[in-house]
């Protein structure tokens, strides 16, 4: 028997013995048996990753080249141009150009994406969202490549191909697309306790964002900021949406996917078109080694957060997206975001997930864009001081597939002295202004191992779940029940429920009850599960970033022949004054006659604009029109969904029969037109217990 009992030694302590009869031996493509498929090769347990790690490089090389030319992950993306404005100088903490002077602006290009689906998938699956920002600084391009969730599924990049292969459509049948509710994903997750914290986020409302403008963004990893004296400060990056956090609920999300697969992309375009520019504040969590060493988790572990109540987020700038791409392919599709692209003043930590990404992303872009010259594409080209001098880059690299520049002169090497002969001088390094790597002390053996400080996989998952609003807890439990109900193998469900007992006993019971299964014994843990102080900052519902407003939001107004013109105009004016967008919706769009003899063209047709596509709903009907619409299924469903999705519903007296037919019950969110504008600024979470069964 081959003993694999130390497979995850120091990585959480979960041991797993596998006999040769159970599984064949894992090998490289050239037949070498692999001793450890869980960890990259590092200098010591917490050290940087070594380039000599052939098994990792072979694995990630193959993965990076699996799709041509579409991105393997984050294929479905939407993007916009804009600017970053520094609102507080960080010149004492970093020499990074964009943080030097209050008021200084830096051009940016930001891409939002889903992870699992292909480029032709929908905008609104339950999925993590990519949040990647390219800063065109004067010292070169900085790519801050993150997600709308601050943690990730895995601790080491060597597991990334396994994660994505498990999440993608199953290899033999080619489905499901852009969905994790299937056997292979949950099989992998159930066997990887380090994923438990991320699963809490993935099953929460965070993976159902209402729009891109309503998402937070995170750099995920711990990075370094480096000042002029060479001093390093650890940093975690946060993007805080000015529009506030807002998500859909599952039934609403499913219906949006059918009504408008491009819902979030369309919203981004329309916001920019009307001048309602999406905006985020950039916040930093800054800390030193002493703080890092004092925490009950490892800041190099990408499955962990630093709660904002422990370390507040310092706001240092804002990002505004004010221009949609001129050409989707040339810009959004050809944009190449690479985490290793940094500028002087920004450095890396030894986070093993980050270390692996520093190699993998460049390799992916070489495959996807087909050339080492992808940096010459306009969307990727630097726009700093070198560009001002006539070229976005200045080096001796030449030729290659799709070379778009025309380098001059004989010398394609450095150093050279041809300037003495009157020829063009070659570029040289700049010891003063050039990029300097932080000279951290590293020592240790070459090992495939994770530090013991990475061993606690459940404490922060427990922190997240218990910090949620009760409504969000119910959504998490119900999402897990839904996903596991799609899993056909009972042993996977059982293992997952055993893991959940380490998160929260009530959560595990709710999931077991929702599946009508017995609750198994809890999984063994590699480290004690801690009861950490709760973090209300993690909430969306009744949390610090939930915003009761109509700014940037759309109100659907259902009208028909004979609608009272005065009521309609008064409501539209009130919505506009509150910063919202009024969208009139009617059975027929061409010409809707109003009560005063005038007529208007409706903005949308009832059958093509269901209430899931707007943020609040009003119904202004004549008595005769209402009598017709109570017999129209689309109208009844329009109101029924608005009520079921916890939205405000405003109505005039004549529309009351339609609300009754739709099963609308009186509550604080069902109001007459005069009170509607204020009511429309929020959702009514207390209604949920009356309209659906949750775990």
pLDDT band at 8 (very low <50, low <70, confident <90, very high): very low
Res 423: pLDDT: 80
Res 209: pLDDT: 98
Among left, alpha and beta (phi > 0; psi -120 to 50; other), residue 78 is beta
| pLDDT at position 35 over 50 | yes
pLDDT tens digits for range 150-169: 999 999 999 999 999 999 99
Entry pTM: 0.92
Peptide bond into 160 cis (omega under 30): no
pLDDT tens digits for range 566-583: 999 999 999 999 999 999
Question: Beta strands 604-605 and 581-586: pairing type?
Answer: parallel
pLDDT tens digits for range 269-319: 999 999 999 999 999 999 999 999 999 999 999 999 999 999 999 999 999
Question: Which residue ranges make up each domain of the chain?
Answer: 61-388, 457-538, 554-690
pLDDT band at 27 (very low <50, low <70, confident <90, very high): confident
Taking the C-alpha atoms of residue 307 and residue 472, their distance in angstroms, rounded to an integer, is 18
Residues designated catalytic: 74, 147
Its CATH architecture, for the domain 457-538, is: Up-down Bundle (1.20)
What is the rounded average pLDDT of the residues 52-62? 84
Res 70: pLDDT: 86
Alpha-carbon dihedral angle through residues 619, 622, 623, 628, given to the nearest 10 degrees: -70
Res 6: pLDDT: 39
What is the rounded average pLDDT of the residues 243-260? 97
More confident residue, 433 or 248: 248
pLDDT band at 387 (very low <50, low <70, confident <90, very high): low
Of 399, 400, 390, the C-alpha closest to 366 is 400
Spatial CB neighbours of 31, under 8 Å, sequence gap ≥ 6? none
Question: Beta strands 616-619 and 649-651: pairing type?
Answer: parallel
| pLDDT at position 123 over 50 | yes
Its CATH architecture, for the domain 61-388, is: Beta Barrel (2.40)
Res 52: pLDDT: 85
Res 390: pLDDT: 60
pLDDT tens digits for range 529-543: 999 999 999 999 999
Res 386: pLDDT: 57
pLDDT band at 7 (very low <50, low <70, confident <90, very high): very low
Res 102: pLDDT: 98
Res 54: pLDDT: 81
| pLDDT at position 354 over 60 | yes
Its CATH architecture, for the domain 554-690, is: 3-Layer(aba) Sandwich (3.40)
Res 487: pLDDT: 98
What is the rounded average pLDDT of the residues 176-202? 97
* Rounded (5°) CA angle 635-695-252: 25
Least confident of 104-113, 412-421, 495-504, 578-587: 412-421
- For residue 658, CA distances in Å to 438, 589, 618, 622 come to 67, 20, 12, 11
Res 331: pLDDT: 97
% helix / strand / coil in the chain, to the nearest 5?
Answer: 30, 15, 50
> What's the chain's average pLDDT?
93
Taking the C-alpha atoms of residue 593 and residue 582, their distance in angstroms, rounded to an integer, is 18
The string of DSSP letters for 423-472 reads SPPPP---TTTS-----------EE----GGG---SHHHHHHHHHS-HHH
Taking the C-alpha atoms of residue 633 and residue 563, their distance in angstroms, rounded to an integer, is 20
């Amino acid at each position: 028997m081959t003993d694999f009992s130390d497979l995850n030694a120091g990585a959480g302590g979960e041991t797993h013995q596998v006999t040769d009869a159970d599984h064949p031996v894992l090998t490289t493509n050239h037949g070498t048996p692999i001793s450890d498929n869980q960890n990259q090769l590092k200098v010591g347990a917490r050290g940087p990753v070594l380039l000599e790690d052939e098994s990792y490089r072979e694995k990630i090389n193959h993965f990076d080249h699996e799709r041509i030319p579409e991105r393997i992950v984050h294929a479905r993306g939407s993007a916009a141009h804009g600017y970053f404005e520094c609102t507080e100088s960080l010149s004492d903490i970093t020499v990074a150009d964009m943080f030097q002077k209050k008021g200084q602006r830096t051009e940016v290009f930001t891409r939002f994406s889903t992870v699992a689906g292909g480029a032709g998938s929908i905008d609104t699956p339950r999925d993590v969202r990519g949040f990647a920002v390219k800063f065109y600084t004067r010292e070169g391009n900085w790519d801050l490549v993150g997600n709308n969730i601050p943690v990730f599924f895995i601790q080491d990049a060597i597991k990334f191909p396994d994660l994505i292969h498990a999440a993608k459509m199953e290899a033999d049948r080619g489905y499901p697309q852009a969905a994790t509710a299937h056997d292979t994903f949950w099989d992998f997750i159930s066997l990887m306790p380090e994923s438990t914290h991320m699963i809490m986020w993935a099953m929460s409302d965070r993976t159902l964002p209402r729009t891109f403008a309503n998402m937070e963004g995170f750099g995920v990893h711990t990075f370094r900021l480096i000042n002029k004296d060479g001093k390093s400060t650890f940093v975690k990056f946060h993007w805080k949406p000015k529009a506030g956090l807002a998500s859909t609920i599952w039934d609403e999300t499913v219906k949006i996917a059918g009504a408008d697969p491009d819902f979030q992309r369309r919203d981004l375009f329309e916001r920019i078109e009307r001048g309602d520019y999406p905006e985020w504040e950039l916040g930093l969590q800054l800390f030193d080694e002493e703080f890092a060493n004092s925490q009950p988790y490892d800041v190099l572990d990408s499955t962990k957060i630093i709660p904002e109540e422990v370390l507040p987020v310092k706001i240092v700038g804002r990002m505004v997206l004010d221009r949609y791409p001129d050409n989707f392919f040339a810009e959004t599709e050809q944009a190449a975001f690479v985490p290793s692209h940094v500028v002087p003043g920004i450095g890396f930590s030894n986070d093993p997930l980050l270390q692996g990404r520093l190699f993998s992303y460049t390799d992916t872009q070489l495959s996807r864009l087909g050339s080492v010259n992808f940096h010459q594409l306009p969307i990727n080209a630097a726009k700093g001081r070198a560009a001002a001098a006539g070229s976005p880059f200045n080096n001796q690299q030449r030729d290659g597939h799709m070379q778009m520049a025309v380098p001059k002169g004989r010398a394609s090497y450095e150093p050279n002295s041809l300037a003495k002969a009157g020829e063009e001088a070659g570029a040289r390094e700049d010891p003063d202004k050039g990029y300097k790597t932080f000279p951290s002390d590293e020592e240790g053996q070459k090992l495939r191992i994770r530090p013991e400080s990475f061993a606690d996989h459940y404490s922060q998952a427990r922190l997240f779940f218990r910090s949620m609003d009760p409504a969000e807890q119910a959504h998490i439990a119900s999402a897990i029940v839904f996903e596991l109900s799609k899993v056909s193998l009972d042993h996977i469900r059982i293992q997952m429920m055993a893991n959940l007992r380490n998160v929260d006993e009530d959560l595990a019971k709710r999931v077991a009850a929702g599946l009508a299964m017995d609750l198994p014994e809890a999984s063994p843990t590699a480290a004690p599960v801690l009861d950490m102080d709760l973090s209300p900052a993690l909430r969306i519902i009744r949390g610090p970033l939930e915003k009761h407003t109509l700014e940037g939001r759309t109100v659907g107004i259902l009208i028909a022949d004979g609608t009272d013109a005065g009521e309609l105009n008064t409501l539209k004016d009130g919505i506009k004054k509150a910063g919202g967008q009024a969208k009139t919706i009617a059975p027929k769009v061409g010409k809707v006659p109003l009560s005063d003899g005038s007529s208007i063209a409706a903005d949308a047709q009832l059958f093509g604009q269901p209430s899931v596509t707007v943020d609040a709903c009003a119904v202004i009907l004549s008595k005769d029109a209402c009598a017709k619409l109570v017999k129209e299924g689309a109208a009844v469903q329009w109101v029924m969904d608005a009520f079921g999705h916890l939205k405000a519903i405003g109505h005039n007296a004549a529309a009351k029969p339609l609300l009754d037919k739709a099963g609308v019950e009186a509550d604080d969110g069902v109001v007459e037109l005069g009170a509607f504008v204020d009511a429309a600024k929020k959702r009514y979470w207390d209604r949920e217990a009356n309209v659906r069964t949750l775990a």
